[in-house]
Amino acid sequence: MCGIVGYIGAREASDVLLEGLKKLEYRGYDSSGVAVVKDGKVGLRRAVGKLDRLVAEVKKRPLAGHMGIGHTRWATHGRPSEANAHPHMEGGVAVVHNGIIENYLSLKEVLVGEGAKFKSETDTEIISHLIHREIKMGKTLVEAVRATVRLIKGTFAMAAVSEHEPDKIVAARMECPLIVGIGRHESILSSDIPAILSVTRRAVFLKDGEMAVLSRDATIITDFAGKEIKREPTTIDWSPIMAEKGGYRHFMLKEIFEQPRAVADTFRGLLMEESGDVFLDGLDMPAGSIDRIYIVACGTSWHAGLVGKYFFEEFFKVPTEVDLASEFRYRNPLVGKKTLVIAISQSGETADTLAAIKEVKKRGASTIAVCNVVESSLTRETGWSLMTHAGPEIGVASTKAFTTQLIALYMLALYFGRRSGNVDAETGVALIQELLRLPKKLEETLSVAPAVENIAKKYSHLRDFIYLGRGLNHPIALEGALKLKEISYIHAEGYAAGEMKHGPIALIDEDMPVVALAPNDRSYPKMLGNMEEVKARGGRLIAIVNTDDIEASQKADDVIKVPPASMHFTPVILSVPLQLIAYHIAVLKGTDVDQPRNLAKSVTVE
Ligand code: AGP
């Protein structure tokens, strides 16, 4: 969590830093700050609350200068307060940090013993003190940072500036993302790609154990021992406009509406229509070498994994288990050389997912990432990666990243299905045709938005919701409930509809809306039965059905009609109205849709 940014060049640093922080605010938004260096002095501004507060503060007390660092915080050590906000300053050294310093208490004890005075409750402040101590002993800023990163234990992406050397920013990375953008006579660093796009699309992705020294005309990358590393910049194909709201009221709404494009971009160039196969360049994994699959992920990505299990077991016919990454690591899963572990992550930076992959690699498993961010920590860790092409997802509630994950898993399962001989060419061709029709169906599905908005008005005052689904749509019920919880703060539970009678039915009364996923598939008759049970107990039914539906529609209080799709893609289609229900209820309740309370987009701590 937390986002860091740094800039050196000809522009006003505070403008670039604040703009960059705006793009990183999804990583944490309880406080923020910037430090700008000018005429051998570091100017500091910090504010508690959303970034707007910092922007107002900088407007009131401007910070001129062409070099600086900034931070947006999601508190781990110490409550949100101005004193705990970054940058932290000591003796003319300012530091921003994303991550957790595990040995900060023992280091602090030593420093306090030497007379250091601490001003915050954070683990980060230790870094500014250590760098300052090294500078006092005669080291340069680069040498001081190098000495410091060897002393601290934990995870970090950090950047430091010093009033003693006002021509450089020194940054270092250990298990937290850090990107350096290389412009013409200017450089920018950031925790994530969107924040650099206003300056440049040429980027170098730092690896664990690397440092970067940014100056106007050069960026030097070294390891922690100081050995220079040559790495060509990568050109990012995300445009600055992709990280803007583009006329939508919220990023989430824009991202919901981007799904037809995102899905098409994810399969573009990979489908072999004539042979019914999928082209996955560089995936060198014979189907016969895999006898068990684990899918590991967190949150929404875990829901995608639950759908993926159906694809792998149907197409590849290999037993597939889906685990929460945070649990998987702490049990003793049966992982060996013939195990394939697929990690799903939008950000590629989720700490538990990364840790799970590191663990299974030690046991000899093959690993694949399904990820939305190029050069993220996850894609570097796994043997092979299948990228989703959702583009930057800024809303904390995942939407287009989720549906593109479903597409990626479908393609991956089909790929192995074809290689294993379980899916013949004719079936493969039909499965690919289904996928090719999906973007158009998604376009049609989006036309339910006004109807959903009206339905949301009837239910936004209620305190609890239940979502019911069966088969591949059970994970979609879980996902619908998660969306509502995240952004509207309404308590919601997703259930496999068949489980209703085993407990949840006790909750049903006239104040309990039940969202029933009732497409016309093989579980439709059973779903009708579950809907009757809800009705009989006075529950209020919102049914999501196919356009030609009659029976379920007659039972429901409110109906949302979506185009019919094959069983495999019904989960994708149903996701759209569920995202819209959550969105419109949240808007009506006046919550912060894109940055809901207590959450951060990337959970980089365990
Ligand atoms: C989704 O709406 C959530 N914000 C959250 O559950 C998210 O999916 C989870 O934190 C995993 O993130 P990742 O996909 O970046 O690993």
Residues 55 and 18 sit within 8 Å (Cβ to Cβ): yes
Report the atom number in ligand 1 closest to the C-alpha of 401: 14
Token code pair at residue 180? 């350096």
Point out the residues that are catalytic. 2, 601
Tell me the pLDDT band of 329, cut-offs 50, 70 and 90.
Answer: confident
Q: Which residue has the higher pLDDT, 240 or 336?
A: 336
What is the SS3 string spanning 257-281?
A: HCHHHHHHHHHCCCEECCCCEECCC
Tell me the pLDDT band of 400, cut-offs 50, 70 and 90.
Answer: very high
pLDDT at position 606 is: 73
Q: What is the spatial distance between Cα 547 and Cα 354, in angstroms, rounded to a whole number? A: 42
Mode of pairing for the β-strands spanning 339-345 and 366-371: parallel
Q: What is the spatial distance between Cα 343 and Cα 445, in angstroms, rounded to a whole number? A: 29
- Mutating to test ligand 1, I would choose from 29, 346, 599 the residue with most ligand atoms within 8 A of its C-beta, which is 346
CA–centroid distance, residue 348 to ligand 1 (Å):
10
Token code pair at residue 550? 């009659």
Q: What is the spatial distance between Cα 168 and Cα 350, in angstroms, rounded to a whole number? A: 30
CA–centroid distance, residue 346 to ligand 1 (Å):
7
Token code pair at residue 272? 């072999």
**Residue type present at position 24:** L
CA–centroid distance, residue 345 to ligand 1 (Å):
7
pTM exceeds cut of 0.85? no
Report the atom number in ligand 1 closest to the C-alpha of 482: 2
| Neighbour tally for 57: CB within 10 Å | 18
Residues 368 and 412 sit within 8 Å (Cβ to Cβ): yes
Report the atom number in ligand 1 closest to the C-alpha of 405: 14
- Give the three-class secondary structure for 386: strand
The protein residue with its alpha carbon nearest to ligand 1, atom 7, reads: 299
- Could you give the maximum distance between any two Cα atoms of the chain, in Å? 80
| 87 upstream amide cis, omega within 30 of 0 | yes
- pLDDT greater than 90 at residue 333: no
Report the atom number in ligand 1 closest to the C-alpha of 350: 16
Residues 410 and 311 sit within 8 Å (Cβ to Cβ): yes
Would residue 509 be called left, alpha or beta, if left means φ above 0 and alpha means ψ between -120 and 50 degrees? beta
How many CA atoms, within 13 angstroms, populate the side-chain half-sphere of residue 398? Answer: 26
Q: What is the spatial distance between Cα 294 and Cα 301, in angstroms, rounded to a whole number? A: 14
Token code pair at residue 125? 């402040």
Q: What is the spatial distance between Cα 169 and Cα 173, in angstroms, rounded to a whole number? A: 14
Q: Tell me the pLDDT of the chain averaged across its residues.
A: 94
Q: 201-235, pLDDT tens digit by residue?
A: 999 999 999 999 999 988 999 999 999 999 999 99
Q: What are phi and psi of 390, to 5 degrees?
A: -70, -25
CA–centroid distance, residue 295 to ligand 1 (Å):
15
Q: 575-596, pLDDT tens digit by residue?
A: 999 999 999 999 999 999 998 8
Q: Which helix (H) or strand (E) holds 344?
A: strand 339-345
Rounded to a whole number of angstroms, the distance between the first and last alpha carbons of the chain is 10
Ligand 1 proximal residues by C-beta, below 6 Å: 298-301, 345-347, 350, 353, 396-398, 486, 602-603
Report DSSP state, residue 115: T
